[in-house]
Chains A and B, each alone.
Chain A
């Protein structure tokens, strides 16, 4: 079948190119061929028509394919449309047709093959650039040398730059694969493929063997250069994945950097604050789906503040009822908050069930885009952006607001702050609420990439603590650097060691690191550290 198609295509091209120069005068009129009774004439007419570049060729062949092409008794061709008939040759409307006199243009398998081949050739000169692009890509993969003349013809009148590049690449591929054209042509073809620089170009260049020596040498050099670019891009891709994992870690750890880093409270229920944020997203989306489905695309905009409020309020509640009794007893705090995390997990399991909840990803967040040699998935990109915004806001709150000033005052010197008239218990509750609220916002982001289940928080708690400890307790910038470092190191270890072993290596490295620098990368200095 394929070879038949190729033969027919070759025929089509031959007919297109060879008589091209003098076509206007002495080429047999394809339309009269179509009206013929002989299948052979019809098939030949199709090929001629396809090659003619006639704007009426495409609708005529399409009509033939749909069996809406008819012959009148006086050998005129009519296309049946929804509202009457048009003349196939001119495209003009035809009035007063006697339907009983019409006969279908006859089609058999040979004719069908001719139609198929012709539509492939037609695509290269189709008025729609997207179709031309697709046809060019097809030739690039088939590397069919018989398409070369047709490609030349198409290139001669191509004006769209993108399609032109694709056509040139297709031409280069066909030329090199069949060892066609002069050495100079082939050398420029290698250059074209090098400019394309992807894996297909590389495999094509690698498969050459019969070409002239100079071409082969240049191809080898081009392969090396493509491989160099590939390594560079895969490095960049790894960096992107690392950044994206790092910002997930950062989001998960940001709240902890406040509650543990700034306040010194070991909150083992931190992961559950994240989990509550994810469930808030689910509830918000369910509410929107029920009340205003049109707003679904903006559901996350509602979920972020809602999650901040839910987790933040629960955080304040926890601080008031549990943690304030345990200040200065870090190990007891650890145990009590662990207990709390079990209670919260079970409560969520009782309310929502233990199976995963479906959280919808809005359309603008899904999908991906290839930028140069990089694959950028939108949800990862948005999470990186979200992490930047959250950390920026957090730092701004701590640095520039009255609340932030008081928080820093209380954590640096509680008694002095109290003597200055700051209500320290109230500030404690708000600080804890802020940290928990940030964890809740992280939950919204994590609901987009992870399963929303009662165990969601558990999987982040150890990582979060490692991030904060590695970065240096009480130092938000340290947390940022540490999260990104861990994310990138993890992703770069993965290809060598596999995901699990990579993670183990990172954990062991962290344990060893803490032995060397027990207070993290960026330790706080001064007396307060010893307490």
Chain B
């Protein structure tokens, strides 16, 4: 069943993304089959959220770590990408400074801060986009799991973590653009960001990365390692008495998950064209949890399904009935936890059997 759903998911994601990309590029704007570019980017954005949801399901569904700050890793990846894109603007910025991004000129920076060096190199930026979230998760997780902080306490301190980062990135002196963040990107890897082909390429890249993450996550959870992880989730004390070290298992999966979230952020930023501290808002991380809950916690595929469904609903409702969206989201939280503990996927499974 699980293998089947994974296969179906990979085929669907890759197939639909490629189809959208082809229909966007190969047909004319007037054609009935044409997919507009905004839709391409919108679906690309959903797929990035799906990567975040997948990363969250890996820790929540399989290790019992309810992280209320996972969007922080996503945003950190996004900021690394944003820094690369900012450097690529070069002299095309408003102030025409070849080295300093516009906001730095505006804030009277004389030199590039040390931590901005190297971000003009795409390989370095991509490395940082996975390294920084990974390292943060390593340090945070090492501290937390070693001292056996778990359950609700862990959730609250992950929330405090993303809140602290939110406040930090709002500061102008941090050198990340303050509350305006970074935007106005021109091109990546030498390709113009506004071009249809780049957009379609990003969609396909997001689909491929999502499938790769799904396969990696599935490999992890179905391995011997994954079995121990599930044991840790269900009865941590008993697993410890059997001679395993739960903290190592949790730490590994937490870091892996943070890296995946970072990758999601990397793909997200060029598609939405902006990154700002709002991405660190605790509310965003909690919203990601509901995607997983809606799809079905601990199923991986469900997380992807949930992320796409909830976000599609959000796009529709915020456009058609803006005042209803928070009611809908709120009731979604309540109803899913009360009535659908296994999510939509659990409902489908029950319907089949």
Contacts and interface: CB of A to CB of B under 8 A. Distances in A.
Interface of A: 266, 322, 325-326, 330-336, 338-347, 349-350, 458, 462, 465-466, 469, 500-501, 503-504, 507-508, 510-512, 514-516, 518
A514 to B, nearest CB: 5
A343 B327 contact: yes
A146 B327 CA distance: 75
A331 B152 contact: yes
23 contacts: A322-B338, A330-B152, A332-B337, A335-B289, A335-B333, A336-B337, A338-B286, A339-B331, A340-B333, A342-B327, A342-B329, A343-B334, A344-B330, A346-B323, A349-B326, A462-B282, A466-B156, A501-B168, A507-B163, A511-B164, A512-B143, A514-B149, A514-B157
Interface string B315-340: 00000000100110111111011100
A334 B330 contact: no
A327 to B, nearest CB: 13
A323 to B, nearest CB: 10
A266 B154 CA distance: 13
A340 B155 contact: no
A346 to B, nearest CB: 4
A462 B165 CA distance: 13
B329 to A, nearest CB: 6
B170 interface: yes
Contact of A503 (B148, B167, B330): B167
Interface in B253-294: 282-283, 286, 289-290, 293
Contact of A331 (B146, B155, B329, B333): B155
Interface in B139-186: 140, 143-144, 146-149, 151-153, 155-157, 159-161, 163-164, 167-168, 170-171
B341 interface: yes
A335 B286 CA distance: 8
B323 A511 contact: no
Given A336-B334, A340-B334, A346 B152 contact: no
Contacts of B163: 462, 507
Interface of A (DSSP majority class) = helix
A464 to B, nearest CB: 10
Given A335-B293, A350-B323, A469-B156, A343 B330 contact: yes
A34 B342 CA distance: 101
B151 A331 contact: yes
B149 to A, nearest CB: 5
A335 B289 CA distance: 8
A504 B164 contact: yes
A423 to B, nearest CB: 24
B66 A339 contact: no
A466 B338 contact: no
Interface residues of B, number: 42
Given A336-B334, A339-B330, A518-B153, A510 B160 contact: yes
Contacts of A339: 290, 329-334, 337
Contact of A469 (B153, B326, B332): B153
Interface of B (DSSP majority class) = helix
Nearest to B168: A504
Given A322-B338, A504-B168, A507-B163, A334 B149 contact: no
Nearest 8 Cβ contacts at the A-B interface: A339-B333, A342-B330, A343-B330, A346-B326, A507-B164, A336-B337, A339-B330, A339-B334
A465 B152 CA distance: 11
Nearest to A325: B338
Contacts of A462: 159-160, 163, 282
Contact of B334 (A322, A503, A504, A508): A322
Contact of B167 (A331, A338, A500): A500
A342 B167 contact: no
A343 B153 contact: no
A335 to B, nearest CB: 5
Given A342-B326, A347-B327, A465-B156, 8 more contacts: A330-B152, A331-B155, A346-B327, A469-B156, A500-B167, A503-B164, A515-B143, A515-B147
Contacts of A465: 156, 159
Contacts of B332: 339
A344 B163 CA distance: 22
Nearest to A466: B160
Nearest to B336: A335
A518 B326 contact: no
A13 to B, nearest CB: 54
Contact of A326 (B144, B159, B323, B337): B337
A426 B170 CA distance: 46
A325 B337 CA distance: 10
Nearest to A264: B152
B286 A511 contact: no
A330 B156 CA distance: 12
A511 B331 contact: no
B160 A340 contact: no
Interface in B48-106: 66
B164 A516 contact: no
A339 B333 CA distance: 5
Of listed B163, B336, B337, residue having the most chain A CB within 10 A: B337
B155 A343 contact: no
B147 A518 contact: yes
B52 to A, nearest CB: 17
Nearest to A473: B153
A145 B76 CA distance: 66
Contacts of A330: 151-152
Contacts of B338: 322, 325-326, 336
A458 to B, nearest CB: 8
Contacts of B326: 342-343, 345-346, 349
B289 A518 contact: no
Contact of A341 (B140, B144, B330, B331): B330
Contacts of B157: 469, 510-511, 514
A339 B282 CA distance: 14
B66 A500 contact: no
Contacts of B160: 462, 466, 507, 510-511
Contacts of B148: 518
Contacts of B152: 266, 330-331, 334
Of listed B148, B157, B282, residue having the most chain A CB within 10 A: B157
